[in-house]
C-alpha cells in the first residue's frame, strides 16, 4: 500500500482499478524506413486500420444521433466521409511510395500538411476543418498503433476506472466516459485549473498536483481516491477500504441533509439576502443547477462548445445550446460568457501556434476582438437565443475600457445584422464584465460605467495578481486568496460596483469555497456563482451567520499585512463559530 497526497480538487470518494493514460504527445508515433517490397504490407495494415476506424466512427455517429443534436452527430459523419475519400487514400499511397516510411508516420505527415494549409487560410471554416483532420488522423494512427492510448480510449470505456494521468486537456475531460470514470488522479493541476472545474461539474472525485502518480501507478492496480482530503492510496488494505466506505456513508447523509435547504433563501440571520447561482460548461448541466437550488446561471463557459475533438460550433449549434439552457432555466438569468479560449483551453489541432506565455497571450476577449466576424457569430446566437429566456452577456479577460467599448459596438452590429435578416432577437440584454485581471480591478470604477454587472473571476485574478500559474502544481501553493493584495482588489471591485449601483458577483472558484463565504459576505458580495453541487453547503453557512459578524471579520482581514495574518483571522472565525458544515 502506498499513499500520495495532492490537491483535493473535486470532492467525493472512489475505489477502483487504475487506468493509466498516456497522452498523445507522450506516446511517440513510430518512425522507420521500409523497403519497396514492404509497401504492400504497410498498405494492408492501413486498410485494416481504416476499417476499424470506420466501425468506431459508425458506432459513435449512431450514439451521437441518440444523445446529441443533429449538427453534432454530423461531425462524425464528416469524419466518416474523410476516411472513405478516394483522394485522401491516393495521397496516403503517394506519401507511402515517395517517403518509404511506415504508414503511421505517413498518415501523421500527410494530415499535418493538410492541417497547416487549412490553418493558413483566413476563413475560420477552414480552421475548423483542420481540427477535424487532426481528429481523424489521431483515430487512424491509434487504430494502426494501439499501444498509444488516445482520448478516443477515454470516450468509451467498458469498465469502471480511476483515471491516472500526467495531465488532461479540458477536451479530454470533456469527452471522457463519465459513466465509467469514477475518479481522476493527475500529476499536474490545481484546484482552479479547468480539469478540476470540469471534474466538479461532472461530480467526479479528483485529486490533482500529485507530481509522480502517473509514473508510480500501474494499469489495473487498485486505487482508493479521496477527493475531499486529496489522498490517493494504491493497493489499499482492508482497513483503508472500510474507512473510506464509512466516510462515504457519512458524506451521503450530509448531502441529504443539505438538499433540504433547496427551497430556502440564501439569507443571513440578520436579513442580508444574497443570490446563489451555478457555473456550467455544458447545456446538460443546467438541470442539475436547478436541482441544487441555483437561482440562475452566473457563468456559462461557452468555450466548452468549441473544445473537444471535432467540435464545430457554428451559429446554429450555439443558438441551440444557449436556447436549451435558457429554456431549462425559465425566467432565471443565464449569464453567457463569450468564448474564453486560449491559455489552458485550447482546441486540439487549432491553436498550435506556440506562444511563449499563453496565459498572457491570445486569450478570451483578445481572440474575439481579433476575429470580429467569428465573435459576431456568437453574439448573434446569444441575441437570437435571448428570446427564449433571460440571457445576459459577459465579456472575459477585460483589461481596459477600450475592449468593453469595442465588444459593445460589435454587439450593436450583431443586433443590426439579426434585424436585417428578420431574425427575432432579445430586445435588451444586460452586458457585464469579468474582473479577473488586476488592471480591471484597479479601474473597476471606470468599467462600472459601461457594465450592468461585474463578475469577479478569482481563478485568474489570483493567478495574475500574484503571478502564479494556476495549472502549475509547483507554485500552486502561492495562489492564496488570503493575500492582502487579493483582498484589496476584491474590496475595491465590490465598492466600485456599489457606487455605480450595479451588482458585484463572483464566479471564480472562491465563491464556492466554504472557508471564504463569511469574508465575501462581509466584503459586500451580492452574488455567488459556483459548481452547482456546492450551493447547498454555501447556503447553509450563509443562513447560519449574521452580516454584522461577517463585516467585522472582513474589516479585520483587510487589516492583515500578510497571507498568514489574514488566514489566521479567517481561520479563527471558522473554528470559533463552527459554521462550516
Q: What distance in Å separates the CA atoms of residue 551 and residue 521, rounded to the nearest whole number? A: 7
Residues in the interface with ligand PEP (CB under 6 A) total 10
Among residues 341 and 425, whose Cβ is nearest to ligand PEP?
A: 341
Instruction: List 165's β-bridge partners, or say none.
Output: 21, 186
Q: What share of the chain is helix, strand, coil (3-state, %, to 5)?
A: 55, 15, 30
Among residues 459 and 493, whose Cβ is nearest to ligand PEP?
A: 459
**Under rule CB under 6 A, residue 459 binds ligand PEP:** yes
> Residue for cell digits 425566467?
331
**Under rule CB under 6 A, residue 460 binds ligand PEP:** yes
Binding partner at 574 among ligand PEP, Mg ion, none, C-beta below 5 to 8 Å by kind? none
Least distance CB 211 / ligand PEP (angstroms): 23
Residue of 138, 194, 482, 483 marked catalytic: 194
Least distance CB 299 / ligand PEP (angstroms): 6
Residues 164 and 185 sit within 8 Å (Cβ to Cβ): yes
What lies within 8 Å, CB to CB, of 289 at 6+ separation is 277, 278, 280, 297, 329, 532
Among residues 193 and 274, whose Cβ is nearest to ligand PEP?
A: 193
What lies within 8 Å, CB to CB, of 89 at 6+ separation is none
Q: What distance in Å separates the CA atoms of residue 206 and residue 152, rounded to the nearest whole number? A: 21
**C-alpha cell of 166?**
500526467
Strand pairing of 7-10 and 275-280? unpaired
Which window, 40-48, 202-210, 458-466, 539-547, contacts ligand PEP (CB under 6 A)? 458-466
Q: 3-state class of 295 per DSSP?
A: coil
Question: How many C-beta atoms lie closer than 10 Å to residue 62's C-beta?
Answer: 12
Which of 24, 172, 295, 340 touches ligand PEP (CB under 6 A)? 340
**Under rule CB under 5 A, residue 303 binds Mg ion:** no
Least distance CB 328 / Mg ion (angstroms): 24
**Under rule CB under 6 A, residue 351 binds ligand PEP:** no
CA distances in angstroms from 371 to 197, 313, 365, 440, listed in the order given: 27, 15, 10, 22
Spell 224-263 as b/e; 16+ CB within 10 A means b. bbbbeebbbbbebeeebeeebeeeeeeeeeeeeebeebee
Least distance CB 23 / Mg ion (angstroms): 24
Residues 165 and 23 sit within 8 Å (Cβ to Cβ): yes
Least distance CB 490 / ligand PEP (angstroms): 12
Least distance CB 232 / ligand PEP (angstroms): 24
Residue of 111, 193, 425, 507 marked catalytic: 507
Binding partner at 272 among Mg ion, ligand PEP, none, C-beta below 5 to 8 Å by kind? none
Binding partner at 508 among ligand PEP, Mg ion, none, C-beta below 5 to 8 Å by kind? ligand PEP
The DSSP code sequence of 237-280 is -HHHHHHHHHHHHHHHHHHHHHHTTTTS--B-TT--B-EEEEEE
Residues 369 and 428 sit within 8 Å (Cβ to Cβ): no
Among residues 173 and 458, whose Cβ is nearest to ligand PEP?
A: 458
> Residue for cell digits 497522452?
23
Which residues, 434 to 473, sit near Mg ion by CB under 5 A?
436, 457, 460
Which residues, 485 to 544, sit near ligand PEP by CB under 6 A?
507-508
User: What mask of x and - would describe binding to ligand PEP in positions 432 to 451, judged by CB under 6 A?
Assistant: ----x---------------
The DSSP code sequence of 354-382 is --SSGGGSS-HHHHHHHSHHHHHHHHHHH
Q: What distance in Å separates the CA atoms of residue 197 and residue 195, rounded to the nearest whole number? A: 5
Among residues 460 and 469, whose Cβ is nearest to Mg ion?
A: 460
Among residues 171 and 459, whose Cβ is nearest to ligand PEP?
A: 459
Which residues, 265 to 304, sit near ligand PEP by CB under 6 A?
299, 301
| Catalytic residue status for 194 | yes
Binding partner at 507 among Mg ion, ligand PEP, none, C-beta below 5 to 8 Å by kind? ligand PEP
| Catalytic residue status for 498 | no
Which of 214, 458, 493, 574 touches ligand PEP (CB under 6 A)? 458
**Contact residues: ligand PEP, CB under 6 A:** 299, 301, 340, 436, 457-460, 507-508
**Contact residues: Mg ion, CB under 5 A:** 436, 457, 460
| Residues annotated as part of the active site | 194, 507
Amino acid at each position: 500500500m502506498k499513499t500520495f497526497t495532492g490537491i483535493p480538487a473535486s470532492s467525493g470518494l472512489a475505489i477502483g482499478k487504475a487506468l493509466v493514460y498516456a497522452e498523445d504527445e507522450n506516446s511517440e508515433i513510430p518512425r522507420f524506413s521500409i523497403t519497396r517490397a514492404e509497401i504492400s504490407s504497410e498498405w494492408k495494415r492501413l486498410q485494416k486500420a481504416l476499417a476499424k476506424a470506420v466501425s468506431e466512427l459508425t458506432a459513435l455517429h449512431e450514439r451521437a444521433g441518440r444523445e446529441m443534436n443533429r449538427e453534432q452527430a454530423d461531425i462524425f459523419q464528416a469524419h466518416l466521409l474523410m476516411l472513405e475519400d478516394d483522394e485522401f487514400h491516393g495521397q496516403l499511397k503517394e506519401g507511402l511510395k515517395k517517403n518509404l516510411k511506415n504508414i503511421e508516420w505517413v498518415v501523421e505527415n500527410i494530415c499535418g500538411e493538410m492541417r497547416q494549409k487549412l490553418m493558413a487560410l483566413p476563413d475560420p471554416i477552414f480552421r475548423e476543418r483542420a481540427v477535424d483532420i487532426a481528429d481523424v488522423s489521431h483515430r487512424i494512427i491509434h487504430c494502426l498503433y494501439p499501444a498509444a492510448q488516445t482520448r478516443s480510449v477515454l470516450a468509451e470505456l467498458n469498465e469502471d476506472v480511476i483515471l491516472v494521468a500526467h495531465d488532461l486537456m479540458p477536451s479530454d475531460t470533456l469527452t471522457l466516459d463519465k459513466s465509467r470514470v469514477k475518479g481522476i488522479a493527475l500529476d499536474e493541476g490545481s484546484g482552479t485549473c479547468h480539469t478540476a472545474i470540469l471534474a466538479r461539474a461532472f461530480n467526479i472525485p479528483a485529486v490533482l498536483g500529485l507530481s509522480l502518480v502517473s509514473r508510480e501507478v500501474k494499469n489495473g492496480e487498485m486505487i482508493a481516491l479521496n477527493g475531499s482530503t486529496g489522498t490517493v492510496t494504491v493497493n489499499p488494505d482492508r482497513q483503508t477500504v472500510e474507512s473510506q466506505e464509512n466516510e462515504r456513508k457519512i458524506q451521503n447523509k450530509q448531502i441529504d441533509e443539505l438538499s433540504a435547504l433547496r427551497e430556502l433563501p440564501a439569507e443571513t440571520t440578520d436579513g442580508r439576502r444574497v443570490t446563489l447561482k451555478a457555473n456550467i460548461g455544458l447545456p446538460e448541466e443546467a438541470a442539475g443547477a436547478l436541482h441544487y437550488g441555483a437561482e440562475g446561471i452566473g457563468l456559462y463557459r461557452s468555450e466548452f462548445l468549441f473544445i473537444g475533438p471535432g467540435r464545430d460550433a457554428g451559429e446554429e449549434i450555439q443558438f441551440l445550446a444557449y436556447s436549451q439552457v435558457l429554456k431549462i432555466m425559465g425566467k432565471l438569468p443565464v449569464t453567457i460568457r463569450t468564448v474564453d479560449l486560449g491559455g489552458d483551453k485550447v482546441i486540439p489541432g487549432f491553436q498550435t501556434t506556440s506562444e511563449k506565455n499563453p496565459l498572457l497571450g491570445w486569450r478570451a476577449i483578445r481572440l474575439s476582438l481579433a476575429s470580429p466576424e467569428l465573435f459576431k457569430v456568437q453574439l448573434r446566437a446569444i441575441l437570437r437565443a435571448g428570446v427564449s429566456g433571460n440571457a445576459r452577456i459577459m465579456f472575459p479577460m477585460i483589461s481596459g475600457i477600450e475592449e468593453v467599448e469595442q465588444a459593445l459596438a460589435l454587439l450593436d452590429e450583431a443586433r443590426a445584422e439579426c434585424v436585417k435578416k428578420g431574425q427575432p432577437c432579445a430586445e435588451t440584454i444586460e452586458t457585464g464584465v469579468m474582473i479577473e485581471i488586476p488592471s480591471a480591478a484597479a479601474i473597476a470604477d471606470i468599467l462600472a460605467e459601461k457594465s450592468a454587472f461585474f463578475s469577479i473571476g478569482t481563478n485568474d485574478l489570483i493567478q495574475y495578481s500574484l503571478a502564479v500559474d494556476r495549472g502549475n502544481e509547483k507554485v500552486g501553493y502561492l495562489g492564496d486568496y488570503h493575500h492582502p493584495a487579493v483582498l484589496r482588489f476584491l474590496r475595491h471591485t465590490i465598492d466600485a460596483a456599489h457606487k455605480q449601483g450595479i451588482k458585484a458577483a463572483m464566479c471564480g472558484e472562491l465563491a464556492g469555497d466554504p472557508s471564504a463565504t463569511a469574508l465575501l459576505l462581509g466584503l459586500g458580495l451580492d452574488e455567488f456563482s459556483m459548481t452547482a453541487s456546492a450551493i447547498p453547503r454555501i447556503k447553509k453557512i450563509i443562513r447560519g451567520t449574521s452580516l454584522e459578524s461577517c463585516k467585522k471579520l472582513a474589516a479585520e482581514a483587510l487589516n492583515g499585512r500578510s497571507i498568514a495574518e489574514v488566514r489566521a483571522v479567517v481561520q479563527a472565525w471558522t473554528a470559533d463559530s463552527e459554521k462550516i458544515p
